[in-house]
Amino acid sequence: MSNPTARKVTANLALTLDGRYHGPGGPGDFAPFAPYVATETARGQLARLHENATTALLGRVNAEGFMGYWPPVAQDESADPRDRGYATWLVGAEKIVFSTTLTEAPWERTRVVSAPVADVVAELRKEDGGEILANSSPSVIKALLAEDLVDRLHLTLCPEIAGGGPRLFEDGLPGTRWTVTRQETGELGEMALIYDRVR
């Protein structure tokens, strides 16, 4: 039975119509997503997802990419205000990076852990704070879904079939029910969706 006063766990990811989070070319294949990441709909989704979050959960690969890209955006006065808002939040938020290879964090306000995701989240939920956001890191989100620990899913659905690459929702997940809290369709056919777990 979940504790209704515990910190909410949220997650965000962009997916293709066939449920994949990168293309068949490997982790760097973002061709199916590239046309949609800077649309008004995608930027609105980005602005919403961190509104109540104070902790970011990241896999090592995402952490390295994010912390290489976003901190300069926080200082860029010509950047879209929603991008700057997200970048500023990411720099200032508590960050937990799951890695078995990093020994220390090269970024401020960051802790590197090699413990199971579910165990770390269980401890975080006992502490005071805002939402815990599994931030666009499939390995972390999959581990949370496997333990039914996600309370809200922010999904950006891109209108392309990748035809290859890993899927977020794999066989073996526990059966769960969700309700659509928000849906918005962009000019290119991309959809910003927010699903809340029905418990």
**pLDDT tens digits for range 122-177:** 999 999 999 999 999 999 999 999 999 999 999 999 999 999 999 999 999 999 99
One digit per residue, pLDDT tens: the chain, 199 residues?
456 568 999 999 999 999 999 999 998 899 999 999 889 999 999 999 999 999 999 999 889 988 889 999 999 999 999 999 999 999 999 999 999 998 888 889 999 999 999 999 999 999 999 999 999 999 999 999 999 999 999 999 999 999 999 999 999 999 999 999 999 999 999 999 999 999 9
Range of the domain at 26: 11-197
Please report, for the domain that includes residue 21, its CATH number. Answer: 3.40.430.10
DSSP string, 102-147: -SS-SSTTEEEE-S-HHHHHHHHTTSS-SEEEEES-HHHHHHHHHT
Q: What is the pLDDT of residue 39?
A: 94
Task: Spell out where 136-188 has E strands.
Answer: 152-158, 178-185
Residue 31 falls within a domain, yes or no? yes
Q: What is the pLDDT of residue 1?
A: 47
Residue 3 falls within a domain, yes or no? no
Q: What is the pLDDT of residue 190?
A: 97
Question: Total structural domains in the chain?
Answer: 1
Question: For residue 120, what are the contacts with CB-CB under 8 A and spacing of at least 6?
Answer: 57, 96, 98, 113
DSSP letter at 184 equals E
Residue 1 falls within a domain, yes or no? no
Residue 17 falls within a domain, yes or no? yes
Q: What is the pLDDT of residue 103?
A: 83
Could you tell me if 134 and 168 are in contact, meaning their C-beta atoms sit under 8 angstroms apart? no
Residue 51 falls within a domain, yes or no? yes
Whole-model pTM: value is 0.93
Question: For residue 172, what are the contacts with CB-CB under 8 A and spacing of at least 6?
Answer: 146
Residue 4 falls within a domain, yes or no? no
